[in-house]
Structure 1
């Protein structure tokens, strides 16, 4: 069979179903990646969200025996909001990262991959395929780099010449030996802007990421956020785009190719105070379609509380006192107490002391004491 012609047919078809870029790679083991992952594991840089079995992350044969090649795809997503609402005193807003705008990208990419799989099966009924997006075993970044989608930047994102790093990635492993594409040469050069501005120092020279320091990871955790990172969250509700927005390769990159990815400005820049008491039903109705909702509402509410502290938003004090007193979740009660201490104001100390009298949770009591200490520091 003429696999080069089949490859060209697949490329042509991919354009008709809304795939912005496609590349082909061999399915040989990712030996260099394996060594990097072992090192990351030894340094405790991993987030815990990724596949823990390094062999599965680096050997496609374990996922599809007889694998010969991998088809990598990329879909560009928007980087700019149209009619973005303003955040102002009394109406402070948070922000979701760009990769969570619009419909959950897992669903969008799976739709494209399923259509591509159906096309391949129609052409070759005996073909074997296995597709994955983000949560699969393979490293999307390593596959995309090998397939010539882009190079792996110092911000630990795939950077494409056409769309910058604002792309979602997915892949199909197959037993068809497609001719491979050539990787793209690294074009970061001596630039270190992403490393220099990372709020927590999570990016490390050599294209490494200490995931446990990364704000994108921290905003998704469910417990108390370590105090050393609370001031660095800013108004981020979910994720972080700093290492992408400063990248020179992303200048002017803003693509609105897919209707499913169009963001609702009121959702991706939500008012903070209403988030504190949103019901489960309203949360699912409003935010359930977004990938940023996958961890549930509690981490986002905690981040909203920290964002109000970031703004020193005095108008939110009654709402924060309400959370501190009445919310059934210790993480939110404690975070509200700490944030009240950061904001300050008349009656805040008395409210914290009163709440302490009936508080039983040790971690919450610690946060309440910290809130009082922060208030005392303001008076010094």
Structure 2
């Protein structure tokens, strides 16, 4: 079989099903990545959401015996929202990161990969194929880099010449020996903007991320957020785009190629106060279709509380007192107590003191004390 001709046919077909970029790589072991991942593990820089087995992350043959090639795909997503609602003093709003706009990208990419699989199996009926998106074992960025989709930027994102870093990635391992593409030369040069502006210093150096400090990771955690990060969250409800928005390679990059990726402004930039009392059912109905909902409503609600504290929103005081007194979840009660202190309305002191007398949870009691300390030591 003519592999060059088959590869050309696949590339042409990919354009007809909404794949914006496609590349081919060998299925050799990712030796350099393996060492980097080991180092990350030793330093405690991993998020814990990754596949823990480094061998599986770096050896495609463990995932598909007889693997010869990997096909990498990229789909461009929008970076600008049309008709974005404004945050007002009466109705403050939070924000979901761009990668969570529109329909959950996992579903979009899986559907494209499924079509690609069906096309390849028509041409090569005995082909073996294994596709994955984000939650698979392989490191998407390493595959995309090897396949010439883009280079790995200092912000740890794949940056494509065409779409910047605003792309979703997916890949397919196969036993078909395709001719590989050439990786793209790194264009970051001496630019360090992403490292300089990272709100928490999570970008240790170019290409090295301490995920434990990354706001994108922190917004997905379910427990109390460490004090040092609370003021850094701003109004982010899920994810962080700072290291992408400052990147010169992303200047002017805004693609609206896939209708299902278009954001609903009221979903991705929602009012904060209604989030505090949203039911599980309402949360699922409103946010269930976006990738930012995967951890459930608790992290989003905790982040909404932090955002209201960030804004020092006095109109939210009654909502926060209600959470402090009535919510069954310690993280929500405690974060509300801290936020009340941060907002600085001294009239809530007696309510915090009353809540302290009734509270049994040690961590919540600490947060109430923090709230009281903030109020009693105001300038």
The verdict on a shared fold, with TM-score over 0.5 as the criterion, is yes
Identify the residue that residue 38 of structure 1 maps to in structure 2: 38
1:206 Cα deviation after fit: 3.5
Alignment of 1:228-243 (within 5 A): 228-243=228-243
The answer to whether the 8 Å contact 2:155/2:206 transfers is: no
Q: Which residue of 1 aligns with 2:82?
A: 82
Structure 2 Cα separation of the partners of residues 266 and 97 of structure 1: 14
What is the deviation of 1:56? 0.2
Q: Secondary structure at the match of 1:347?
A: helix
Mean Cα deviation higher: 60-69 or 198-207: 198-207
Provide the secondary structure at the position in 1 that maps to 2:229: helix
2:55 corresponds to: 55
Counterpart secondary structure, 2:173: strand
1:74-153 matches, cutoff 5 A: 74-153=74-153
In the TM superposition, what whole-angstrom CA distance separates every residue of 1:226-256 from its partner, at most 9, and x where no partner exists?
0110000000000000000000000000011
Q: Deviations over 1:261-289 (max 9, x none)?
A: 01000110000000000011110000000
Alignment length, in residue pairs? 379
Aligned equivalents of 1:56, 1:116: Cα separation in 2? 24
User: Equivalents in 2 of 1:377, 1:253: separation in Å?
Assistant: 46
Unaligned runs of 5+ in 1: none
SS at match of 2:377: helix
RMSD of the alignment, in Å?
Answer: 0.5
TM-aligned CA deviation for residue 346 of structure 1: 3.8
- How far apart, CA to CA, are the structure 2 residues paired with 1:16 and 1:143? 23
- State the alpha-carbon separation in 1 of the partners of residues 320 and 115 from structure 2: 48
**1:1-20 equivalences in 2 (<5 Å):** 1-20=1-20
Distance in 1, Cα, partners of 2:236 & 2:183: 34
CA shift, 1:377, in A, is: 1.7
Cα distance in 2 for partners of 1:206, 1:37 equals 15
Aligned to 1:310: 310
TM-score (norm 2): 0.99
1:35: Cα distance to partner? 0.5
| 1:140-199: CA deviation from partner (whole Å, max 9, x where unpaired) | 000000000000000000000000000000000000001000000000000000000000
Q: Distance in 2 between matches of 1:372 and 1:171?
A: 51
1:210 corresponds in structure 2 to 210
What is the alpha-carbon distance in structure 2 between the residues aligned to residue 183 and residue 128 of structure 1? 25
Q: Structure 1 length as normaliser, TM-score?
A: 0.99
Does the 8 Å CA contact 2:150/2:184 hold for their aligned counterparts?
Answer: yes
Post-superposition shift, 1:300? 0.2
- In the alignment, which residue of structure 1 is the partner of 2:263? 263
Residue-by-residue CA offset, 1:111-150 (whole Å, 9 max, x unaligned): 0000000000111100000000000000000000000000
Q: State the secondary structure of the residue aligned to 1:66.
A: coil
| Structure 1 residue 350 displacement after superposition | 1.1
Judge conservation of contact 2:72–2:149 (CA < 8 Å) in 1.
Answer: yes
Structure 1 residue 90, shift from structure 2 partner: 1.1
**What pairs up with 1:142-291 in 2 under 5 angstroms?**
142-291=142-291
CA distance, structure 2, for counterparts of residue 271 and residue 316 of structure 1: 12
How much has 1:332 moved relative to structure 2? 0.2
Q: How far apart, in 2, do the equivalents of 1:255 and 1:169 lie?
A: 16
Structure 2 portions without partners, runs of 5+: none
| Equivalent-residue separation in structure 2 for 1:376 and 1:173 (angstroms) | 60
Aligned to 2:325: 325
